[in-house]
Structure 1
Amino acid sequence: MKEFDTAKLYYGFPIFILGYPDAESGYNITACSSSYSLGSMVVFGLGSDSNTAEQIAHFKRCSLNVMSAESLATIEKAGFLHKRPKLTPDIPHIIQDDVPILTDALLTIELKIARVETFLNNTNFTAHVEKRLVRDDLIENDRLVNENFDPIYFVGNQHRRSYRFLEPERSGKLGSYLRQQKKQ
């Protein structure tokens, strides 16, 4: 292994779009890739100086929408355009429980913010999951069809960042590799 001195390192984070109430435009969206989830808690981070961080801290509500590769133009619109309304009529959505739900998302999680903490120039939001919505074709017999869940991942550093995609044929069941090793 070699030391890699870089200001940023993205080692595979799912990209999602946050939908939130916005005091100026009614509702808005932004792209994000900084999150983790434990049970009914989700934590995500944003730059402290962003409109999104300010609005979510104020309204204490948002939706986290996990998108597929078919939505890359929407993801880039949400992420590249700053300080302006981005939730336009060409983006399929509904307003539910006072947050935008992107109707072409693979998965949407409605969140209520429980804690807002700033560290350096980043704001971390700890949220409680109020509702999970999953695209119909990703549920079978009350289970998530893992092989068909294909979010986009963000990988790279400050010099080059790119999208990565899951391959359904590379799916494996949890625990199967250890069982296979024990058989040998």
Structure 2
Amino acid sequence: MTPAIASPRLALRFWALALLGSWVIAASAQVAVPLWPVPMTLQTLAVLLLGALGGARVSVASVVLYLAQGALGAPFFANGLGGAAVLAGPTAGYLLGFLPAAWIAGQARGGWWRSGAVLVAAHLVLFVPGVAWLAQFVGLERAAMAGFVLFIPGTLVKTGLALVALRGIRRQG
């Protein structure tokens, strides 16, 4: 049953959390290392935490709202960019990769190893559409290097941070 059908109160809570999540992703996009053709941001950390803490449905809805607001012109994408053109540019595959990553991160339940494996999988899955789309602009070899290999250290650090934060938050609750 969707929140909209369950009750107006639950629907309002669901969409309020999703909107807040979209703003968290937008804020994390502004923390960027200006690499070309894909900047390194904290968006993936935000997507992992939203998924792990809010569950798959809320986090996917957050990503959808984030993408919609950015496409409509809000300066939500990396480096304060906004507009539909960003969703046709070199980073579009990564942005769309947030959708399956959020859903997978929403499955991060259980112990340290299971949650860690789920977060690694969530983080890695977004590289598939990201590199595939980027390859249209710079070729597959360069896309793999500039859009994946270069990001491996940051991916490991952000996944580790997400796991540590998740464990700390769950212990507090």
Q: Give the structure with higher Rg (CA).
A: 1
Q: Which has the higher helix share?
A: 2
Q: Which has the higher strand share?
A: 1
Report the TM-score when normalising by structure 1.
Answer: 0.28
Report the TM-score when normalising by structure 2.
Answer: 0.30
